[in-house]
């Protein structure tokens, strides 16, 4: 079981690193996907190895996938709107909320 | 942990996930980053299949690999120009980010490896049947999930309307 947790921890902190270092908003979103995916692995692994009779972690992972899909769709709509307005999606150029 | 076929499969998947998740965040071209993200998500679905959660693995492939990565690739191609490289960051900030993530990873790995979990059984990965998933998802008694199911449906409806409102032309 610890091996699964090590894999998901590495994935999680790769996501954290990308979230800190990248300066493109889409790259930051990709890092967020990595983080969410690592937590989904943890839910499934804890359910399988600690509570093999229940299904709670399975359904938590299922709803987490649905919510992250919704979040990604709205975030990409926002990115496209920002690109239409200021012709760039780098974080450096995003210094005002209203124009 | 003997060297069975499942162990070998797990180590292959683990190496795949590790290498590609690190490549996702260090590569400079963002289209390559999305492609590596696709590989990471497929390997995650492989881990779900190994654990016996076939339905979860297929949902992962359908929603993530089929929907989200396509959405990412489309929006990357829409928004990034020719030769759009990652911007150079100041060295101190880069080192701060690297140090913070490595230190956090070390702490989490230390806690994971030293903590005594409860009675961990290593059960054979029995497959969860679709029938039990359907009954649990649609029942309203103690182990039923009808309320989060409806909440997610309302969330998806709000997400459709919000996406249309945000991204439409004015």
- What three-state secondary structure class fits A95? coil
B72 and B138 assigned to the same domain: no
Candidates A78, A85, A87; CA nearest to A99 is A85
User: In whole angstroms, what is the distance from residue A15 CA to residue A32 CA?
Assistant: 6
Q: Structure tokens of B7?
A: 């162990």
Within the 29-48 window of chain B, which residues sit less than 8 Å (CB to CB) from chain A? 30, 33-34, 37, 40-41, 44, 47-48
Domain of B64? 1-83
B146 and B71 assigned to the same domain: no
Report yes or no on B102 lying in a domain. no
Residue B69: which CATH number? 1.20.120.1200
- Final residue before a domain boundary, out of B48, B64, B83: B83
- Final residue before a domain boundary, out of B83, B100, B121: B83
Report yes or no on B121 lying in a domain. no
User: In whole angstroms, what is the distance from residue B39 CA to residue B60 CA?
Assistant: 12
Report yes or no on B107 lying in a domain. no
**Is the Cβ of B114 closer than 8 Å to some Cβ of chain A?**
no
Q: Structure tokens of B35?
A: 């492609």
Q: Is the pLDDT of residue B87 over 80?
A: no
B76 and B7 assigned to the same domain: yes
Confidence at A22, pLDDT banded by 50, 70, 90? confident
Report yes or no on B57 lying in a domain. yes
User: In whole angstroms, what is the distance from residue B49 CA to residue B168 CA?
Assistant: 39
Across A23-27, A90-94, B81-85, which has the greatest mean pLDDT?
Answer: A23-27
| CATH, domain range A2-93 | 1.10.287.3510
Number of domains in chain B: 2
| Residue B127 φ then ψ, to 5° | -80, 135
B56: chain A residues, CB-CB within 8 Å: 44, 58, 61-62
The per-residue pLDDT for range A48-91, each reduced to its tens digit, is: 888 877 788 888 999 999 999 999 989 988 888 888 887 777 77
Annotated domain spans of chain A: 2-93
Q: Is the pTM of this model over 0.90?
A: no
C-alpha B7: how far from its chain's center? 22
Question: What Å distances lie between residue B142 and B128, B134, B138, CA to CA?
Answer: 19, 15, 12
User: Quick one: average pLDDT of A8-37?
Assistant: 89
Candidates A72, A68, A55, A22; CA nearest to B89 is A22
The per-residue pLDDT for range B2-55, each reduced to its tens digit, is: 578 888 888 999 999 999 999 988 888 888 888 999 999 999 999 999 888 889
């Amino acid at each position: 079981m610890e091996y699964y947790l090590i894999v998901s921890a590495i994935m999680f902190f790769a996501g954290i690193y990308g979230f800190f270092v990248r300066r493109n908003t889409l790259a930051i979103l990709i890092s967020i996907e990595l983080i969410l995916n690592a937590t989904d692995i943890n839910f499934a692994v804890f359910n399988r190895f600690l509570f093999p009779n229940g299904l709670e972690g399975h359904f938590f992972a299922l709803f987490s996938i649905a919510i992250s899909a919704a979040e990604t769709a709205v975030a990409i709509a926002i990115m496209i709107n920002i690109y239409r307005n200021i012709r760039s999606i780098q974080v450096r150029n995003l210094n005002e909320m209203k124009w | 942990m003997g060297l069975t076929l499942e162990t070998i499969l797990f180590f292959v998947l683990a190496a795949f996930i590790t290498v590609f998740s690190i490549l996702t965040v260090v590569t400079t071209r963002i289209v390559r980053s999305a492609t590596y993200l696709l590989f990471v998500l497929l390997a995650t679905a492989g881990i779900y299949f190994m654990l016996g959660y076939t339905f979860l693995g297929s949902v992962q492939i359908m929603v993530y690999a089929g929907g989200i990565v396509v959405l990412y690739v489309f929006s990357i191609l829409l928004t990034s120009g020719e030769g759009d490289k990652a911007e150079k960051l100041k060295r101190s900030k880069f080192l701060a980010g690297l140090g913070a993530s490595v230190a956090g990873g070390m702490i989490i790995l230390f806690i994971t490896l030293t903590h005594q979990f409860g009675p961990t059984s290593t059960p054979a990965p029995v497959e969860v049947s679709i029938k039990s998933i359907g009954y649990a998802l649609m029942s309203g008694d103690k182990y039923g999930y009808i309320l989060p199911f409806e909440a997610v449906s309302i969330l998806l409806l709000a997400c459709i309307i919000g996406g249309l409102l945000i991204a439409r032309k004015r």
